[in-house]
């Protein structure tokens, strides 16, 4: 059993509840905000929260603190992936999806949530799930019934008839199948937003262009009119929810930004206007620049349709160059991978691609920590190893600022003060 309650072990017999504290130390710690390595570092954790962090010599721990030293390791804040599909599997693409019940997909989610957490991702945004399976997963994790990242979920993605979000184009007309999130027109879009809020969504996911993996949609073609997007975003914002829009083509990206969406997913063909709008409005881009390697390498065997492979060939390379452009222009970048299209647990592979396409290791880490936390509206709780933050802490062997790929092998995972993974002796 990997999961052990590190902090539950102190003196239960005391009359008043004891301060359950742990002094976690390691050879070093990454300060993601400054991008510096703090040598001989420690974090003091009390009741699942960080109360002090920095050079070990600067921290005074209560006398009855437990201690844990991770020799040869570097501590970092738990990573955040802003675009995953926990209920999807990398080997179940195209027509294979038609064989899956909502219940089976939910069980995928249970398995994949654990994998994602053990890979060092202590929080993730799940962007689209049928039957509110994501809400159930989020709550089961929050209740401590199953291990998994803290989930921020959208429920069914909201989009046009026959669009990328509705994902309903595999069946011919006689089956009369309509995707759960289909809504045409401003009022129908508002109604779907209300429904998703009613059933527990934390945010709204929509699609303002076609996609790579949806049958019969065009990545360059806009989906939804500006008017529809404005209604959807206004409705979501009025209830305090943020909006993430899937968008590859420039026109649909710009429509979404003009409507006020908070994050653009993929952003593959973003143009100068999109970059300008994103900067002006403080919208963030989640550009999934690793997944192209999986789609083109393993996609055919995984059931991805030939038309989707063609669309990917026309998208991936441009997206990587535009990632470089947008980052250089100073747009806020958040870490979103589209895991589920490729295997869950491999979420960290994108970090090295981000450094390949223009980021420093510290910038790549910020996209997956502080920037992501801000885009979630949780910048005071998540994404830093600083006093007041939740004790979501990971460790890798060696120095990730020198070799970002060390994050592909996370050795220690703590979430809210609970240890889920420890280095093997």
Q: Answer for the pair 211, 221: CB distance below 8 angstroms, yes or no.
A: no
Q: Answer for the pair 133, 102: CB distance below 8 angstroms, yes or no.
A: yes
Question: What is the rounded CA–CA span in Å between residue 224 and residue 230?
Answer: 10
Burial of 402 (0-12, 13-18, 19+ CB in 10 A): exposed
The alpha-helical segments, DSSP class H, found in 262-386 are: 272-281, 291-298, 306-313, 316-328, 349-356, 361-367, 370-376
Residues 6+ apart with CB under 8 A from 403: none
Does residue 266 interact with ligand ARG by CB under 6 A? yes
Question: What is the rounded CA–CA span in Å between residue 155 and residue 126?
Answer: 8
Question: What is the rounded CA–CA span in Å between residue 143 and residue 175?
Answer: 39
The residue with its CB nearest to ligand ARG is 211
Does residue 255 interact with ligand ARG by CB under 6 A? no
* For ligand ARG, the closer CB: 123 or 217: 217
* For ligand ARG, the closer CB: 163 or 400: 163
Query: What binding mask, one character per residue, do residues 288-317 give for ligand ARG by CB under 6 A, x or -?
Result: x--xx-------------------x--xx-
Does residue 122 interact with ligand ARG by CB under 6 A? no
Does residue 343 interact with ligand ARG by CB under 6 A? no
* For ligand ARG, the closer CB: 165 or 390: 165
Question: What is the rounded CA–CA span in Å between residue 224 and residue 222?
Answer: 7
Does residue 211 interact with ligand ARG by CB under 6 A? yes
Does residue 319 interact with ligand ARG by CB under 6 A? yes
* For ligand ARG, the closer CB: 217 or 406: 217
Q: How far is the CB of 342 from ligand ARG (least distance, A)?
A: 9
| Listed ranges 104-112, 125-133, 207-215, 402-410: which one lies at the site for ligand ARG (CB under 6 A) | 207-215
* For ligand ARG, the closer CB: 252 or 416: 252
- Tell me if residue 420 falls in helix, strand or coil: strand
The DSSP bridge partners found for residue 25 are 42, 69
Does residue 167 interact with ligand ARG by CB under 6 A? no
Question: What is the rounded CA–CA span in Å between residue 27 and residue 42?
Answer: 9
Count of Cβ atoms closer than 10 Å to residue 49 Cβ: 15
Q: How far is the CB of 275 from ligand ARG (least distance, A)?
A: 18
* For ligand ARG, the closer CB: 213 or 370: 213
Q: How far is the CB of 63 from ligand ARG (least distance, A)?
A: 52
Does residue 338 interact with ligand ARG by CB under 6 A? yes
Q: Which residues of the chain form contacts with ligand ARG (CB under 6 A)? A: 211-214, 266, 268, 288, 291-292, 312, 315-316, 319, 338, 341
């Amino acid at each position: 059993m990997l999961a052990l309650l590190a902090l539950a072990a102190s003196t239960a017999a005391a009359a008043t509840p004891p301060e359950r504290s742990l002094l976690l130390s390691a050879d070093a710690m990454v300060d993601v905000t400054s991008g510096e390595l703090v040598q001989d570092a420690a974090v003091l954790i009390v009741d699942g929260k960080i109360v002090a962090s920095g050079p070990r010599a600067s921290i005074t721990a209560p006398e009855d603190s437990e201690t844990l030293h991770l020799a040869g390791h570097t501590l970092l804040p738990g990573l955040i992936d802003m675009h995953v599909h926990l209920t999807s599997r990398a080997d179940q693409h195209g027509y294979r999806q038609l064989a899956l019940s909502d219940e089976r997909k939910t069980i995928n989610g249970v398995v994949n949530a654990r994998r994602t957490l053990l890979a060092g991702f202590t929080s993730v945004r799940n962007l689209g799930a049928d039957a509110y399976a994501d809400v159930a997963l989020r709550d089961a994790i929050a209740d401590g019934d199953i291990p998994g990242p803290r989930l921020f979920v959208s429920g069914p993605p909201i989009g046009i008839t026959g669009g990328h979000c509705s994902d309903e184009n595999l069946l011919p007309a006689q089956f009369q199948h309509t995707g759960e999130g289909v809504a045409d027109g401003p009022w129908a879009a508002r109604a779907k937003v209300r429904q998703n809020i009613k059933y527990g969504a934390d945010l709204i996911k929509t699609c303002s262009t076609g996609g790579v993996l949806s049958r019969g949609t065009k990545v360059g073609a806009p989906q939804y009119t500006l008017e529809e997007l404005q209604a959807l975003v206004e409705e979501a914002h009025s209830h305090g929810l943020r909006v993430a829009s899937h968008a590859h083509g420039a026109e649909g990206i710009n429509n979404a930004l003009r409507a006020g969406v908070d994050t653009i997913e993929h952003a593959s063909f973003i143009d100068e206007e999109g970059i300008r709008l994103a900067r002006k409005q403080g919208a963030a881009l989640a550009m999934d620049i690793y997944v192209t390697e999986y789609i083109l390498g393993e996609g055919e065997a995984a059931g991805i349709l030939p038309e989707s492979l063609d669309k990917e060939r026309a998208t991936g390379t441009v997206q990587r160059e535009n990632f470089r452009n947008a980052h250089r222009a100073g747009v806020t970048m958040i870490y979103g991978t589209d895991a589920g299209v490729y295997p869950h647990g491999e979420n960290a592979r994108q970090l090295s691609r981000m450094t390949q396409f223009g980021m420093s290791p510290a910038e790549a880490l910020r996209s997956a920590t502080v920037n992501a936390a801000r885009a979630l509206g949780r910048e005071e709780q998540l994404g830093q190893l600083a006093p007041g933050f939740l004790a979501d802490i990971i460790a890798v062997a060696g120095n990730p600022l020198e070799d970002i790929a060390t994050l592909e092998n996370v050795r220690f995972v703590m979430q809210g003060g609970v240890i889920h993974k420890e280095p093997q002796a």
